[in-house]
Structure 1
Amino acid sequence: MPSPHSTSNSTTRRRPNWSGTTRLANQPDSEPKDERAMNGTSSSDVEYRPIADLIDLSGRTAVVTGAARGIGQAICSRLAEAGATVVVADLDANAARETAEGLAGRWSADVRPFTADVTDSASVDELAEYADSIVGGLSVWVNNAGVYPTAPLADVSDADWERTLSITLDGTFYGCRAAAARMVRRSGRAGRVIINMSSLSGLRGRKNLVSYVAAKHAVTGLVRSLATELGGEGIRVVGVAPSVVDTSGMRKRRTEATPAEAARIQALEAASLAAIPLGRVGTVDDVAKAVLYLASDLSEYITGVVLPVDGGVSAS
């Protein structure tokens, strides 16, 4: 039975310090009354908010699935740094607890572990209900859990196919449905956003990744469909599409792979690196910073898009 384990830090919460200015360098102290913005809009109709306010997630609760390690852990860290109450959701209860305790101490933040299985819709519903019960309610949901199997088509078993879709696609769908149901109940609350982890492979094709590519294309479709459906409720739905990212999971797969699997992984990574204009693979923090941007009010007019975080691969 999935269960929460409270690990919120009892010390005084530290407000994020972005060391930003309260106004743009070229912005006058008071705007001329006759100044007009684009399309004839009076400048007095254009709301100005400092950068520090736009990126501040204080008072918002964020859920991240697959959050105990790698990209998920990095996302939790950035959201906690920005002031959010963060629920670290993972199937591995011990790892989730360790991550939550570490981040709570690092950022003097309210970070809570929750044991959840994204392939079980009831478990995901329990996670969403728990997060929404926290003061302020659920604001940010990040569907990050997924798997990355590599195999040519002939070697993909029914079990391999079903496992990939169950975790990567079904888990994302269950998360979207559970999060949206709670967010709709809080109509009018600002900052409600669902962020789905897609992949550059969810925007194009890749050999020896048939189940992963199929699942991630479907995740991209969820973003576009749900953005149109939930936009009227004031809920944004967006995606992030990393290319090759150096994670502990990827390093573990290399060491545990059979010789044939290791050769496929090495070939995929070499081809991917050669195609990156910036000349390096991504880091988990590259992805986490993109998620923070999409979770914050810096992107409050952005929905229905999948943001590539790929070092320029999609442009080449």
Structure 2
Amino acid sequence: MGRLDGKVAIITGGAGNLGKTAAEKFLNEGAKVSLVDMDKSKLEQVQKELSDENVLIIEANVTKEEDVKNYVDQTVNKFGSVDVFFNNAGIIGEVGPIDQQSLENFNKVLSINAMGIFLGMKHVIPVMKKQQYGSIINTSSVDGLRGSPNMAPYATAKHAVVGLTKTASLEVAENNVRVNSIHPAPVSGDMMKTVHQGQSASQGNEDEQVQEEITKGIPLGHYADSKNIANLVLFLASDESEFITGAEYRVDGGMGAAG
């Protein structure tokens, strides 16, 4: 039997590397999966690559409440339940010091990275309460547990995810619903390319130099791969983690141990 046999999962940010990797793992373990993203063409490409009849793709903006309600409703109508919610959609935004950050960028990053998390839980939790079962995994970051120069909007939003996670975990524990946050180190992919470019412009260094400096702060000596993060998500989605809630899970190559 698969670790998620009979389970239904929603993954936001489903067209990204981590969303796709998590979907592959969920499907391999017996789940049915709804993939949610703003980019319809990328969603269609991921659906094609996954080539599985148990995948539903839904175009949605996680900052619009009607879109969020719709992706939850569509999932329940198609598959009958929502047992796992990987609340994962997020962006980096502009990179630069606070006194050069625009209010527009600050609001955009918080809207997607924090309000999107809130709205997702707002509409998934009633389904899970009715079922008296569920696992919610909210994507934060190592930057949700520390300061991060030139990343104020991102770090602020990711800190907010921690507060939302802990609060929700206390509110729904009596309903057998678990809520945890994950805190990845830098992950190879497009989001870190944005960070490299922004830090390069701010510091006057080449992208490669920025990556080298960031890597020096990771005791294991390299960026994470999306599969490293998805392995943790799968554990938290499964009943193997049935007595874990309100927790912050680092998957950071030792960054937390280094201070």
Query: Counterparts of 1:131-146 in structure 2 under 5 Å?
Result: 131-146=75-90
How far apart, in 2, do the equivalents of 1:89 and 1:268 lie?
A: 32
Change (3 A) 1:166 1:222: same
Secondary structure of the equivalent of 1:118? coil
Which of 124, 138, 144 is the aligned partner of 1:196? 138
- 2:99 is the counterpart of 1:158: no
Query: Counterparts of 1:191-270 in structure 2 under 5 Å?
Result: 192-251=134-193, 253=194, 260=201, 263=205, 269-270=211-212
Higher normalized helix content (fraction of residues): 2
The answer for unaligned runs of 5 or more in structure 1 is 1-52
The answer for unaligned runs of 5 or more in structure 2 is none
Q: Compute the TM-score of the two structures, normalised by the length of structure 2.
A: 0.92
Secondary structure of the equivalent of 1:195? strand
- 2:126 is the counterpart of 1:181: yes
Secondary structure of the equivalent of 2:79? coil
Deviation at 1:109, TM superposition (A): 5.1
Give the AA of the match of 2:174.
G
Query: Counterparts of 1:292-303 in structure 2 under 5 Å?
Result: 292-303=234-245
How far apart, in 2, do the equivalents of 1:265 and 1:221 lie?
A: 33
Change (3 A) 1:154 1:254: closer
The structure with the largest alpha-carbon Rg is 1
Please report the RMSD computed on the Cα atoms of aligned residues, expressed in angstroms. Answer: 2.0
Kindly, what percent of the aligned residue pairs are identical? 31
Deviation at 1:258, TM superposition (A): 9.6
**Aligned residue for 1:311?**
253
Change (3 A) 1:223 1:186: same
How far apart, in 2, do the equivalents of 1:236 and 1:154 lie?
A: 39
Secondary structure of the equivalent of 1:134? helix
Give the AA of the match of 1:296.
S
Deviation per residue, 1:2-45 (Å, 9 max, x gap): xxxxxxxxxxxxxxxxxxxxxxxxxxxxxxxxxxxxxxxxxxxx
**Aligned residue for 2:21?**
74
Contact 1:196–1:219 (CA<8 Å) still a contact in 2? yes
Secondary structure of the equivalent of 1:147? coil
**Aligned residue for 1:56?**
3
Aligned length: 256
**Aligned residue for 1:114?**
58
Contact 1:244–1:269 (CA<8 Å) still a contact in 2? no
Secondary structure of the equivalent of 1:196? strand
How far apart, in 2, do the equivalents of 1:270 and 1:119 lie?
A: 34
How far apart, in 2, do the equivalents of 1:224 and 1:274 lie?
A: 31
Contact 2:96–2:198 (CA<8 Å) still a contact in 1? no
Give the AA of the match of 1:173.
F
Deviation per residue, 1:123-180 (Å, 9 max, x gap): 0011011112233411111111111131111111010101000110010100011110
Give the AA of the match of 2:129.
V
Give the AA of the match of 1:112.
L
